[in-house]
Amino acid sequence: MRSRSKGPSAVRQGFLPVCREDLEEIGISRLDFVYVIGDAYVDHPSFGPALISRVLTAQGFTVGILAQPDYRNVSSITALGEPRLGFLVSAGNMDSMVNHYTAAKKRRSTDSYTPGGISGRRPDRAVIVYCNLIRQKYKNIPVIIGGIEASLRRLAHYDYWSDSVRRSILLESGADLISYGMGERSVTAIAWALQEGIPVQELTDIPGTVCKVRSPEQLRHCVLLPEYGEIIKDKKKYAESFAIQYSNTDPFSGKRLAEGYSKNCFVVQNPASKPLTQKEMDGVYGLPYQRTWHPMYDASGGVPALSEVRFSLTSCRGCFGGCSFCALTFHQGRIIQTRSHESLLAEARQMAKEPDFKGYIHDVGGPTADFRAPSCEKQMTKGTCRDRQCLFPNPCRNLRADHTDYLALLRKLRALPNVKKVFIRSGIRFDYVLADKDSAFLEELCRYHVSGQLKVAPEHVSDKVLACLGKPEHKIYREFAERYRKMNESLGMKQYLVPYLMSSHPGSTMKEAVKLAEYCRDLGYMPEQVQDFYPTPSTISTCMYYTGLDPRNAEPVYVPKSLHEKEMQRALIQYRNPKNRGLVKEALMLAGREDLIGYGPKCLLRPDGPEKPGQTGKNQGKRKSGPDRKKKTIRNIHKKKQERHST
């Protein structure tokens, strides 16, 4: 229910229309597009629907936002009327299933993209549900889906929550087109084509889109993927299909792909949209965002997700890191695109004027903060390599590891009036830092941009698991940790390195999980949070999880699949938590590591019973006498023997 407050209405304040009253107020009888989204409406460039809507309005189109309509009531989809050109649909900034469920498939109790953090305002598989609502009311209106949920399900994909291979979301939703990846170019092209009267069914060749075709004659110049009927029966075929898709994500070298479902039904993926130039990026982020949630959410306390990005700057997009568990290759791509210093400084100055700004810029980055240029000279004209990564297993000889531009940007931001501190929170690639021969970035990182702890993501310590993760060998992380320690020592600073660790990733047997626990023991560190591997669509790791094969080389990979085994691997990393005692003991016995159960300094777990032999809750700490004291002495001798044996 929209609240009315005194003063100018929200639409007069610069927000996009969200109800009929807004349309009447600005004199619009019919919108060009209605954008249906699973998130609350936050007019900030870190929220995809706001960004796409602003891009379209800058082109002269009218767009209304229908945020979190009541998915149980079909009439809720009519709140802004029938649009002239079509509906746009997105689940929001997060996949709705990831938003709702943990890696253990347990329902989350909150939703940070909903007013007040309340869970349950969006449906599971939001894109499909919203499209079905639209089709019940408007049979022939064009429907274009996008955002992370649609983008990563654009072709047949393994679905962790149903443990099945599902069809392209284009077919499951009944939509006409998918705009995948970062949609500024593709959505604008679609909008102008519809404006010119071209039927949506004829829009089959726009870069960055996925469409349906009925005739095999329309598949010329396409690389044919294994058909859906094959991949649901044969996991090798699934891995083969995924490998072809992965090698065709580049906008310059990627081929048109076709996936068959029947003799007259094919889903066609066009090559990705070309990356934005710096001028275009500046233009997108310079549009008139209100940088906050819509006033109708004030009474609910606002939208919690905004706090994570409100005082942060997006300086780049894309990532050439190539982590196996990350879907960025399929979504933003591997080519780095950046904003100019002038654009970022202008946003920082605007940010510093906000009443709640306390002088701290929380982040300056993107998927990887310190990537500020394509990894090599050729990428902006020829694209990324199809058969190799920029950093894995070792940095490419053509890699340009250079932090000069990023350092210059950070120095300018630090010098702005009212800015006390500039932090880097979106993560750095420690192997990329090591590849840079100049230590200036590491020095300034430690001196100015760390708040006591630097979080990095080695993920694991087993080289076998790291190879599956697409991460460098553990010795690289150890080298970075030592350089970080020495740098802080030379600066007279006490700052710590906090490693992000991942449990139960493909390749991790129980022995590898124990090795990770031993590393935490030796480090004297028990992480409060551990990321249990989450098989989300369109990642190499998820393909491994489903097929048991590495799609890069078709070799078998061990996969911890049962929820119980995943719980044990996770518990090992947090072995000091008393709640995990039973799981840790079971895991150690399964791994054949009973030597880690005992009283020695290297043991992870004490034996069953009281903490020390001979003590109970009642008499713990009391001095024994007579026979009891003699028994205690015998137990102490036995304890010392165990310690000698375990060490």
Q: Is 546 domain-assigned?
A: no
Average pLDDT value for residue range 480-496: 96
Q: What percent of the chain has pLDDT over 90?
A: 87
Give the orientation angle of helix 474-491 with respect to helix 440-448, to 10 degrees. Answer: 60
CB 127 within 8 A of CB 149: yes
Centroid of chain to Cα 10? 31
Q: Is 210 domain-assigned?
A: yes
pLDDT tops 60 at residue 621:
no
DSSP annotation string for 223-249: EEPPPHHHHTT-HHHHHHHHHHHHTT-
| Total structural domains within the chain | 1
Q: Is 359 domain-assigned?
A: no
Residue found by looking up tokens 């929209």 in the block: 2
List all residues 6 or more positions away from 582 whose beta carbon is below 8 Å from its beta carbon.
none
| Distance separating alpha carbons of residues 269 and 154, to the nearest angstrom | 8
| Distance separating alpha carbons of residues 539 and 338, to the nearest angstrom | 24
pLDDT score recorded for residue 387? 85
**End-to-end Cα, the chain, rounded Å:** 66
pLDDT score recorded for residue 24? 94
**How are strands ordered across the β-sheet holding 33-37?**
63-67, 33-37, 86-90, 143-146, 177-179, 209-213, 265-269, 256-262, 222-224
Q: Which of 88, 72, 51 has its CA nearest to residue 124?
A: 72
pTM of the model as a whole? 0.90
pLDDT score recorded for residue 638? 42
Does residue 397 or residue 10 have the better pLDDT?
A: 397
Q: What percent of the chain has pLDDT over 70?
A: 93
Per DSSP, which regions of 143-226 are E strands?
143-146, 157-159, 164-166, 177-179, 209-213, 222-224
pLDDT score recorded for residue 527? 84
pLDDT tops 50 at residue 148:
yes
pLDDT tops 60 at residue 616:
no
Give the orientation angle of helix 510-523 with respect to helix 581-590, to 10 degrees. Answer: 120
Calculate the dihedral angle through the C-alpha atoms of 603, 604, 610, 613, rounding to the nearest 10 degrees. 0
**Identity at 331, one-letter amino acid code:** H
Average pLDDT value for residue range 279-303: 97
CB 241 within 8 A of CB 269: no
Average pLDDT value for residue range 330-343: 96
Average pLDDT value for residue range 221-230: 96
Q: Is 1 domain-assigned?
A: no
* Burial environment of residue 205 by CB neighbours within 10 A (0 to 12, 13 to 18, 19 or more): middle
Q: Is 204 domain-assigned?
A: yes
* Burial environment of residue 475 by CB neighbours within 10 A (0 to 12, 13 to 18, 19 or more): exposed
Digit-coded pLDDT (tens) for 426-461: 889 999 999 999 999 999 999 999 989 999 999 999
pLDDT score recorded for residue 7? 53
Digit-coded pLDDT (tens) for 356-397: 999 999 999 999 999 999 999 888 888 999 888 999 999 999
Structure tokens at 129: 């549900």
| Distance separating alpha carbons of residues 82 and 89, to the nearest angstrom | 14
Digit-coded pLDDT (tens) for 61-102: 999 999 999 999 999 999 999 999 999 999 999 999 999 999
pLDDT class of 609 with cuts at 50, 70, 90: low
Q: Is 29 domain-assigned?
A: yes
Digit-coded pLDDT (tens) for 13-32: 899 999 999 999 999 999 99
**Range(s) of the domain holding residue 51:** 20-235+252-269
Q: Which of 290, 370, 361, 296 has its CA nearest to residue 336?
A: 370
Q: Is 313 domain-assigned?
A: no
Q: Is 205 domain-assigned?
A: yes
pLDDT class of 614 with cuts at 50, 70, 90: very low
pLDDT tops 70 at residue 3:
no
Map residue 637 onto helix, strand or coil: helix
Maximum distance among all Cα pairs of the chain, rounded to whole angstroms: 100
| Contacts by 596-601, CB closer than 8 A, 24 or more apart | 596/514, 596/518, 598/642, 598/643, 598/645, 598/646, 599/639, 599/642, 599/643, 599/646, 600/642, 600/643, 600/645, 600/646, 600/647, 601/643, 601/646, 601/647
Digit-coded pLDDT (tens) for 191-204: 999 999 999 999 99
| Distance separating alpha carbons of residues 345 and 413, to the nearest angstrom | 7
Per DSSP, which regions of 278-356 are E strands?
292-293, 312-314, 316-317, 337-338
CB 320 within 8 A of CB 391: yes
CB 523 within 8 A of CB 471: no
CA distances from 540 to 132, 209, 329, 536 (A): 31, 22, 10, 10
pLDDT score recorded for residue 256? 97
| Distance separating alpha carbons of residues 233 and 561, to the nearest angstrom | 19
With residue 21 as reference, give the H or E element that holds it.
Answer: helix 20-26
Residue 153, domain CATH: 3.40.50.2300
CB 552 within 8 A of CB 242: no
